């Protein structure tokens, strides 16, 4: 049996999509995001990519490729971005074998991948731990049961207990001003105080995207 021990005192690198986001994503972490509208997912994912490209490779995988035109509105240098399409969890596991250790990997539309199962999620978790990845799985849906968010994470992500971060993203607007709203259901111990609801002024976040 192979184990993955490392010195416990090592401080992993952490990244945020933007400064006001209530928590950070650390190396060796696995996060699941549900966006209740497409703007919320776009703001989150593109700011996360733009804010991380200066620190090393960023991988975007999933059905569909990211928009370089949109990303260049947020950052000039996109040379560290790598994109690839996967259509099943088996293909995702294979992709994780070849990405650089310690890199950010974003998987869009994860619930649409074929062959999802709790067993395959454990295999993904094993790759994340072994390679020290920052893995963020995302999905945008217009059908979200706000009264049963834990059930929604189980519906989309099969085994929510294996994730370090579970969060729901939304945007709202009033008289031309936007807010970015986040419900954190689960967070790492260092950020456990972020569990709950947050609302952030978002005009500066959406102006380039809109």
pLDDT attached to residue 3:
54
Residue 43 lies in a domain: yes
Domain assignment present for residue 17? The answer is: no
Please check whether residue 196 lies inside any domain of the structure.
yes
The rounded distance, in Å, linking the Cα atoms of 163 and 34 is: 13
The CATH number of the domain holding residue 126 is: 3.40.50.300
Residue 32: predicted pLDDT: 98
| Cα distance between residue 137 and residue 90, in whole Å | 15
For position 140, what pLDDT does the model report? 94
Q: Give the pLDDT score at 64.
A: 83
Return the pLDDT at 119.
95
Burial class (CB in 10 A: 0-12, 13-18, 19+), 78: middle
- Cβ atoms < 10 Å from Cβ of 91: 16
Q: Is residue 63 part of a domain?
A: yes
Assess if residue 25 is contained within a domain: no
Q: Is residue 10 part of a domain?
A: no
In a domain? residue 13: no
The total number of structural domains that make up the chain:
1
Q: Give CA separation, 32 vs 86, 157, 178, 199, in Å.
A: 18, 8, 24, 19
pLDDT of residue 42: 96
User: pTM of the predicted model, to two decimals?
Assistant: 0.92
Domain contains 192: yes
Token reading at 197: 């609801």
Range of the domain at 170: 31-206
Q: Return per-residue pLDDT of the chain as tens, 210 residues.
A: 455 566 655 667 899 999 999 999 999 999 999 999 999 999 999 999 999 999 899 999 988 889 999 999 999 999 999 999 999 999 999 999 999 999 999 999 999 999 999 999 999 999 999 999 999 999 999 899 999 999 999 999 999 999 999 999 999 999 889 999 999 999 999 899 999 999 999 999 999 888
């Amino acid at each position: 049996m192979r184990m993955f021990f490392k010195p416990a005192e090592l401080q992993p690198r952490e990244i945020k999509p933007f400064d006001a986001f209530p928590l950070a994503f650390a190396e060796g972490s696995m996060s699941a995001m549900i966006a209740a509208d497409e703007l919320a997912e776009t703001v989150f994912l593109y700011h996360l990519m733009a804010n991380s490209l200066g620190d090393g490779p960023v991988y975007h995988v999933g059905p569909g490729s990211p928009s370089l035109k949109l990303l260049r509105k947020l950052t000039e240098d996109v040379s560290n971005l790598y994109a690839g399409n996967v259509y099943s969890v088996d293909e995702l596991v294979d992709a994780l074998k070849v990405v650089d250790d310690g890199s950010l990997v974003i998987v869009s539309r994860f619930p649409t991948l074929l062959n999802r199962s709790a067993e395959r999620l454990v295999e993904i978790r094993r790759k994340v731990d072994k390679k020290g990845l920052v893995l963020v799985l995302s999905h945008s849906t217009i059908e979200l049961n706000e009264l049963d968010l834990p059930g929604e994470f189980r519906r989309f992500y099969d085994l929510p207990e294996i994730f370090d971060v579970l969060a729901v993203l939304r945007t709202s607007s009033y008289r031309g001003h936007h807010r970015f709203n986040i419900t954190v259901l689960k967070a790492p111990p260092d950020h456990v105080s972020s569990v709950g609801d947050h609302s952030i002024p978002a005009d500066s976040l959406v102006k380039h995207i809109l």
